[in-house]
Structure 1
Amino acid sequence: MVDAPSVHGVYTICPTPFTDDMSVDVQSIRQLTDFLIESGVTGLAILGFLGELHKLSDQERRLVAKTFIDHAAGRVPVWVGVRALGIAGAIEQAQDAQSLGASAVFAAPLDGASDALLYDYYRTLADSVKIPVVIHDFPDSFGTEVKPEVIAGLAQSGGVSMIKMEEPPVGQKISKIIELAGSSPVSIFGGLGGVYFLEELQRGAIGTMTGFAFPEILVAIYEKFASGDVQGAAAVFDKYCPLIRYEFQPKIGLALRKYVYQRRGAISSQAIRSPGMRIDGTTIAELDAIVRRVGLSYEGNGPSILRNYS
C-alpha cells in the first residue's frame, strides 16, 4: 500500500487504436501519446472502459500498456485500468501494470459486490502493489455503486484515497465524500465526458479523467479555475459545452471520439471492436457542424487552437 501522490489536472482516458483489420495499432498508440502530451494534459489513463479493455486478450492488453508507457517515456504519468471478475485477476492486472512502469492503476469494482467486499477488495489490491490504486466509480457501466461511506472509509484507513467518480448527481456525491472523509485527504477526479467539469471543480474535485477528444478545452478550464479565474473557467466551459455534450452520447461516444481523433491526425483508423455502435453520415455531419459552430476545426493541436474562446 502506498500513499497517494499529489496529483491534479486533466488525465485523458485514451481509446485503444485498431487498424482496419481490428489488430492493435501500435504506431497509432505512439501518435496518440505524442498528440495528447502536446495538447497539455497532465497524464494518460489507458485500458479503461473507453479503451475497450474488455475486448482485448491478455497479450494485447500488455502490448497496449507497454506501448503507451514506453512511448510516454516519463513525459507524463500513465495510469492503467484494471477490471476483473475477482480479486486474484485484479491483483494480477495491477501487478502487471506496475511491472511495465505504470504510475498508478484505476480499478473497476467487482460485479455486485457488497460494501464490505468492496472495501476489502480495494484494500487488498492496494496492498498488492507499490503504486497508487484509484477507485473507478461508474455504476452505469459497471453495475456496482461504490458508496461515499466506502470511499471515505478507504481514505481514512490510508492507501486508497483517489477516485474517478462518475455517478450522477456528481455534485452531491463529491460533497458527501469530502464531508465523510473529514480530515483524511481524498483526491476526487470527475469524468462523464467533462459534462459537469465546472461543477465538479466547484465542489472540490481536483481534475478530471475522461476521454473528450479536444482535451485542450478541459486543460484550459482546469488551468483557469486552478489559478482563481473562476469566471474565465466558466466562459471556456460555456462556449464549448455544446461539443462536450454532443460527444458524450451514450453508446456512440467511443465512435465519436475515434472519429475526432482520426480527423485530428492522432490515430489512423476509427475501427471499433464488436460489440460497439458505429456512427452514420448524419451523425458525422451533426458533429462537424458543432465543431464549426464553437469556432474549432480538426486542424492543429495544443492550447493555440483555443485563442478565441472568450
Structure 2
Amino acid sequence: MTFGIDTKGVYPIAATPFHPDGVLDTASIDRMIDFYHEAGSTGITILGIMGEAPKLEPEESLAIVKQVVARSKIPVVVGVSAPGFAAMRRLARDAMDLGAGGVMIAPAPHLRTDDQITNYFNQAVEAVGTDVPWALQDYPLTLTVQMSVPVISRIMADHASCIMLKAEDWPGLEKLSALRKAQAEGRLRPFSILTANAGLFLDFEPERGSDGAMTGYAFPDMLVELDALHRKGERDAAHDLFDLHLPLIRYEQQPVVGLAVRKHVLMRRGIISSDTQRKPWPALSATAREEVDYLLSRIARKDPRAAI
C-alpha cells in the first residue's frame, strides 16, 4: 500500500510495546494495530521518536515492520532516520520490500545552515532511492534543526519523492499558512501536510490548511472524530471536543516524561499490556499516574472513550 501527495486523515504514531523485562510484546503490537483500524485511522506511522527506534536492534526494527505491515489494512509509514545513510538505506529498502507505504526522514540534529540541510536530504534520497516515497519531518523542538519555508520549498522542489510534510514546528500556524499560500500561488508543488505536536494545535491547524494529523496522542479515535468535524465545517463542535481533551494532551506533551504518560494511557485503555519503556528513560511516579487517571476520569464525564 502507498500514500501520496493527497493523503488526508489521521496517521497515529505508534508506540513500541515491551514486556516488563524489555522484550518486544508482539501480542500488544497486534492489538494496537487492530485498535488503530477500529478507530478509523487513515494510516499508521511506526519507528518514530515515540516508537523508541534508537533503542531497538536492527533485527527488532525489521521484525516490527514485518509484523505491522502484514497485519495492517492501511498504509504504514516507517521512520528510518539514522546516524548513517547505510542503516537508513537498509531499513528503508527492506521496509518497502515488505510492503510499507513509505518512509519518514528527519534532519540530523547537527545541521545548522540551509545548505547543510538541503545537502543532507540530497544524500538521504540518494541513499534510500528516488523510488521511495517519503515524509519530511520538521521537528525543531526536539531535533534542533530550523527549516524555514524557503528551505522546505527547496527540498520539495528538488525531490519529487517527498510527498508529505510532517509539520511540528512550534509556533507553526503561520508557517502552515505560508506553505499553503505558496502552493495556491503556484510557487510550490502540491504535497500533503499532516501536523503533530501531540495535537496541541489541532483546534486551528485544519483551518490553516493541514490535511490531518500524524501524532501519538493516546486517543486516535478522538483525533479521527475531530478531523471529521473540521472537514464538515462544525467548528464549535470540533473546538468543544478538543477543549475536553486538551488537559490530557498538554500533560502528554511534557518533555522527558511525555512518552511514559502516553504509554500509561494506552495501557489503561487496554491497548498495550505494559507501559514499560526501554532504559534509559524515567518512569512515571505514583503521583503522576494518579494525576493522569484523574484527567481520564474528568474526560470520561463527557467522552465514554476515557472511561477506564
Deviation at 1:296, TM superposition (A): 5.7
Confirm whether residue 143 of structure 1 aligns to residue 150 of structure 2: no
Q: 1:216-261, CA deviations, whole angstroms, 9 ceiling, x for partnerless residues?
A: 1111110011122222211211222122112222111111111111
Confirm whether residue 87 of structure 1 aligns to residue 55 of structure 2: no
Q: Specify every segment of 5 or more residues in structure 1 that has no aligned partner in the other structure, as ranges.
A: 298-302
Q: 1:107-138, CA deviations, whole angstroms, 9 ceiling, x for partnerless residues?
A: 11123223224324334544505331100111
Confirm whether residue 261 of structure 1 aligns to residue 290 of structure 2: no
Q: Are the counterparts in 2 of residues 122 and 160 from structure 1 also a CA contact under 8 Å?
A: no
Structure 1 counterpart of 2:23: 23
Deviation at 1:32, TM superposition (A): 0.8
Q: How does 1:1-310 map to 2 (within 5 A)?
A: 4-72=4-72, 75-113=73-111, 114-126=113-125, 128-157=129-158, 158-181=160-183, 182-183=185-186, 184-295=189-300, 305=305
Q: Are the counterparts in 1 of residues 3 and 102 from structure 2 also a CA contact under 8 Å?
A: no
- Aligned to 2:11, the other structure's residue is in SS state strand
Q: Specify every segment of 5 or more residues in structure 2 that has no aligned partner in the other structure, as ranges.
A: none
Q: Which amino acid aligns with 1:64?
A: I
Give the whole-Å Cα distance in 2 for the aligned partners of 1:9 and 1:88: 32
- Aligned to 1:210, the other structure's residue is in SS state coil
Q: Percent identity?
A: 34
Q: Are the counterparts in 2 of residues 47 and 80 from structure 1 also a CA contact under 8 Å?
A: yes
- Aligned to 1:12, the other structure's residue is in SS state coil
- Higher mean alpha-carbon deviation, 176-185 vs 277-286, is at 176-185
Give the whole-Å Cα distance in 2 for the aligned partners of 1:117 and 1:96: 27
Q: CA RMSD in A?
A: 2.3
Structure-2 change in CA distance of 1:93 and 1:115 (3 Å): farther
Q: Which amino acid aligns with 2:115?
A: A
Q: Which amino acid aligns with 1:142?
A: L
> In the comparison of the two structures, how many residue pairs are matched?
299
Q: 1:170-209, CA deviations, whole angstroms, 9 ceiling, x for partnerless residues?
A: 1122122233444221321110110111221111111111
What TM-score, normalized to structure 1? 0.89
Give the whole-Å Cα distance in 2 for the aligned partners of 1:251 and 1:65: 26
Give the whole-Å Cα distance in 1 for the aligned partners of 2:82 and 2:162: 18
Structure-2 change in CA distance of 1:160 and 1:123 (3 Å): farther
What TM-score, normalized to structure 2? 0.90
Deviation at 1:276, TM superposition (A): 1.3
